[in-house]
Chain A
Amino acid sequence: MSGTRPRLRSRTLQGAWARRGTLLPLFLLTVVVVGGVVAVVGFAAAAGTSRLLAVPLLLVGAVAVPATGRELAAARRTEIALARLRGLEGGELFTLLLVEPLLVLLLGAAAGTGAGLVVADLAARAWVGDPMGTPGADVAAAVAVVLVVALVAVLVGMAAALREPLVAQVRGAARPRSSGVASVFAQVLVVVGAVVAVYRARVVDGTQSDLLVLAGPALIGLAAGHVALWLMGTLARVGVRRTGRRGLPAYLATRRLARSADAAAPLRVLVAAGVVAGLAVTGAVQVAAWADETARLQAGAPLRFDLERGAGGDAASVLALTERLDPEGAWLMGAVLVPGEGSVPARRAFVDVDRFDRVVGDFYAGTSAARIAGFADRLVDPASAAGVPTPASRVLVEIAGVSPREEGRLRPRVEVALRRTSGQELRVWVDSELGLDGASRTVSTPVDCVEGCTVVSITLARADDDRALPFLVTDLRLGSTSVLDRPWSPADAPSAAGPGGPVEVAEGLLAPVSDEPLTAVPSRGEGAIPVLVTRTASWDGDPVLESPGGEDLAARVLARFPALPLVEADGVYADLPRAAAGAPPTIPAAEVMVLARDDAPAALLAELAEETGAEARPLARVTEQVRDAAGAAQAQAYLMTAICCLLVALLVLVTAVARQREAWVRDVAALRAVGVDRATLRRSTVVEAVLLLMATGAAVVTGVYLAVALLLGRLSLVLVPEHAVALRTAVAPLPLVLPALLASLVVVVVLWRGREVGGRESAPAVLREEAR
């Protein structure tokens, strides 16, 4: 008794070795499927994404493996018959049949697990930046699932051999059987599964991974493959009738396509893999584009320096800082983002739009905010340019009389109220005396505005006992900046007593006749502040812009955009100097930043970094942060699944063609024996290849289109943050066509290589019995 076990084991091994040609595809399939599943699950664990992304690969493998099971059963047909004659049945017979494939599956699983772990680690290092770490229980569970599915699939494939009548099994070669009820049922099940997956994609929460939705692309691909094969078979049968009077190439090709069942399984798997690949490529391209757009909108410019409050961290100070470090406005641009909550208009961004073209340029090209550059001029108020804090050490004033006078003294005083960037206010004044001719006089006084000051008001007065005669301030400069370039308005409302303050005239500021000092303040511009808004912004009533300090300002909407810099898909966008002019201090919740060009002088950037203590955030880092936050690695994991599906399909196709080769060689020999030449047979292969290429290509294109249109948006390939732009899930031409071309090319190349037989190899003499 003990001697039977070693004999059984050696018999099993001998049998396995004898059938190695049939078992090798099963081994390789197992390696690829297990390896792919382990790689995806391992990478998903490292990247924090869903492990269920491996489901399409499991499904494709489950369709591919039964074909190998049928082959195994065909190879062991005689052995099965003998076993049944010896009385083995039921469990004993199953055990006999299972030992070999189980052995192969275990070996394949071991090899696949090792390969998968290596791939997962490499992918994690490349895309996540960290090694994979110790594989968890989910990897082992995934391998076990694959093994069970594969074993069941092999059994399903063998089941037909077990159901075959013993008489037929003993008699000889198996007769071809048409598709059984189970096969038809499976095909219908796939189509129904695809429909249900599409339905579930509409009803489930898009933020959670759903098993059926994730399997959807593979189901759609299998269904497309079924339809394509059915269509091709129908057309081939029509072709059989129509080519009755045509040449031999078409005659032979249509009959092979119409009657050869061996083409079915590989093409189904290839189409399914092509659809999964098409959807994965589309998803990867769309996610990459989304991440790039989101990063550009979030960053605002190629380089971003986020300032701390107190380190130049408010609206006025950041404008002064950029004015001081970059007076020309070629490299730096101040910006403020207030991530207000509660309403879309509460979320607002302010940018020194006057510098937009030079600093940002075409940075937003390709994003939803690409057209914003065309509105820059309309956002900027010329008056607001002068509201920018200006460094200065002196205030210079030029005063003149309105006209010569005959008598009396005229001693004007010009008092300028200033505000430093720190918020501290100071006043400086100059006194002068105008002669009887009224000729202009220029006076100046020192002022401490090294960091920059803005002019808050100008007060014009006279000495107490002077005649209340009018005079002009023709020029007033803070440093080198002319203060009178911006508009000024009387501080008080006009009345019967007078205009309420100095009046702007062509020559400058006119102090009208008055015994009282007259004060002028900067004009806020004509009408409401122009703004750009996202499509989600709305107000109850007239548009209102909250300044960086929280003050409500009348606003005028110039245009609506899908998304805007800094505020992304929700918010308002306005010019910073204009909105900040005269505004209260910036609220603490505001994010103050300096945006810079990536080719700004290094010394300038270093100086900026040193002054503010801020670190430059290049676009690449922002992109990485966006991808990490959104879980964009899911798209990469899905791409890995797609690549493995394609490998499985290639393996199945190559195996099928190789399996058919012997029969093809004999067919060629038989046809050559009756006078059909090799050129005719090559042409028939060309016809067959063209038809298969068209069927495969059309099926993949259709499947990818349906999968992308119906499922891509629901696959949760990326977690879109609040306020971010939505992921575009439209069908793109290249990912639609590329998998179809690839699948068609694979079919043609594999078929051509498999059918290319040498003259001697396929000579009619091979049909001699002695040659067999």
Chain B
Amino acid sequence: MSDLRLSGVRYELTRTLLHDLDLTFAAGRMTALSGPSGSGKTTLLSIAGGLLRPTAGEATYAGAPMWRGTGDPRPEVSFVLQVYGLVPILSARENVSVALRARDVDPDEADERAAQALARFHIADLADRQVEELSGGQMQRVALARGLCVGAGVLLADEPTSELDEGNRGLVLAELRREADRGAVVVVATHDPAVVDACDDHHALDEGRLVDHTEPVHLPAEGSRGSLRSHLDQRDAGSHLDQPDVQVVEQGGAPATSGRRDHPTDAPDQPGSRGSLRSHLDQQDAGSDLDRPEDDDPYELFRRPPGSP
């Protein structure tokens, strides 16, 4: 599968919403797109997905432009919209099934895959309920099921966890990771630091400009923990604070997954795991984590397996 490339993308309406962005969203990786409200995340996703035509520059995938001239996305693209984009009079299953049928999937297979997709998000019992009868969180999961079930080459998710609790958030991140592992380009616009933490790459936007191309966050593997500590030391020393327009993203906080024990991808609870990352490292240095088997690694779920590209 190919990367999704944005070259010199500018978008202007009454003001410039995006300023000459050059970005590559790599295939097989999850990329977080963060920034304050109004920073241009959704606009960037819309241009990347071919919903909007940039004022300048272009977005391409597999060598072909994303913009088709009509505002309709390419079949290789799947969206999980911030406003969900569900059809109220269709049921949850029908909303998902329509996306598959639009891609010429056989109706029976589409219904079956729709049911499976809903089941992945633990809302199989809502399959026959009309969407307008669902709660916000349930609708978001239906939108996610729809976006993920089509097996698109590019998956663009706008605030996919905004309505979800921690358990479901972990579930969503696991599914996104599965898509990335399949080789898709996965881009997630988010305010949620945990989601940012879970991604391989991270771009921060502020007023339509990239303000930080943050290194991927990896938990220190054996012999590599120093890099993270040194990163934190440098940060605490203020080296980043002196840089203009740098938005420091707090790496601490709760692990991305702390939810359901019965989910096979859930990470087990760990002592002290809810403290800051620094305290987490301190604990590691104290040796309490050195002996922790890899299965207890809270970030195992989202980590790229060693040796993977």
Contact = CB atoms under 8 A, between A and B. Distances in A.
Q: Do A and B bind each other?
A: yes
Given A255-B90, A256-B89, A759 B70 contact: yes
Contact of A260 (B73, B89, B103, B146): B89
Contact of B71 (A244, A248, A671, A765): A765
Interface stretch (B77-85, B217-225, B268-276, B286-294): B77-85
Given A175-B133, A245-B107, A764 B89 contact: no
Contact of B102 (A248, A259, A765): A248
A251 B87 CA distance: 13
B215 interface: no
B43 interface: yes
Contacts of B43: 768, 770
Interface string B53-77: 0000000000000000011110100
A675 interface: yes
B285 interface: no
A176 interface: yes
B88 interface: yes
B interface majority secondary structure = loop
A316 B42 CA distance: 105
A770 to B, nearest CB: 6
A665 to B, nearest CB: 12
Contacts of B86: 670
A516 interface: no
Contacts of B280: none
Interface stretch (B28-36, B93-101, B232-240, B248-256): B93-101
Interface residues of B, number: 36
Contacts of A672: 71-72
B111 interface: yes
B85 A670 contact: yes
B101 A770 contact: no
A670 B147 CA distance: 12
B55 to A, nearest CB: 14
A669 interface: yes
Contacts of A673: 51, 72-73, 79, 81, 85
A663 B51 CA distance: 19
A603 interface: no
Interface string A745-767: 00000000000000110011101
A431 interface: no
A769 interface: yes
Nearest to A173: B132
Interface in B22-41: 38
A769 B70 contact: no
A676 interface: yes
B42 A175 contact: no
Interface residues of A, number: 34
Residue picked from B86, B98, B132, most chain A C-beta under 10 Å: B98
Contacts of A669: 85
Contact of B94 (A255, A675, A759): A255
B295 interface: no
B85 A767 contact: yes
B51 A765 contact: yes
B210 interface: no
A674 B146 contact: yes
A451 B87 CA distance: 96
Contacts of B88: 663, 667
A768 B11 CA distance: 15
Contacts of B102: 248, 671, 674-677, 680
A674 to B, nearest CB: 4
Contacts of B89: 255-256, 259-260, 667
Contact of A763 (B71, B79, B146): B71
Contacts of A252: 98
Contact of A670 (B52, B87, B133): B87
A667 B73 contact: no
Contact of B87 (A667, A677, A759): A667
A80 B5 CA distance: 50
A759 B101 CA distance: 21
Given A248-B98, A255-B89, A675 B75 contact: yes
B258 interface: no
Contact of B79 (A677, A764, A770): A764
Interface in A145-178: 175-176
Interface in B116-151: 130, 132-133, 146, 150
Contacts of A768: 42-43, 46, 51, 81-83
Contacts of B98: 248, 251-252, 671, 674, 676
B107 A244 contact: yes
A604 to B, nearest CB: 78
A158 B84 CA distance: 30
A769 B51 contact: no
Contact of B108 (A245, A667, A765): A245
B73 A675 contact: yes
Interface string A605-638: 0000000000000000000000000000000000
Contacts of A663: 88
Q: Which 5 A-B pairs have the closest CB atoms?
A: A763-B71, A675-B102, A674-B99, A765-B51, A670-B85
Interface of A: 175-176, 244-246, 248, 251-252, 255-256, 259-260, 663, 667, 669-677, 680, 759-760, 763-765, 767-770, 772
Given A244-B111, A768-B46, 7 more contacts: A667-B89, A671-B98, A675-B73, A765-B52, A768-B42, A768-B81, A770-B38
Interface of B: 38, 42-43, 46, 51-52, 70-73, 75, 78-79, 81-83, 85-90, 94, 98-99, 101-103, 107-108, 111, 130, 132-133, 146, 150
16 contacts: A244-B111, A259-B89, A259-B130, A667-B89, A671-B102, A673-B72, A674-B78, A675-B102, A676-B102, A763-B70, A764-B72, A765-B46, A767-B81, A767-B85, A768-B46, A770-B43
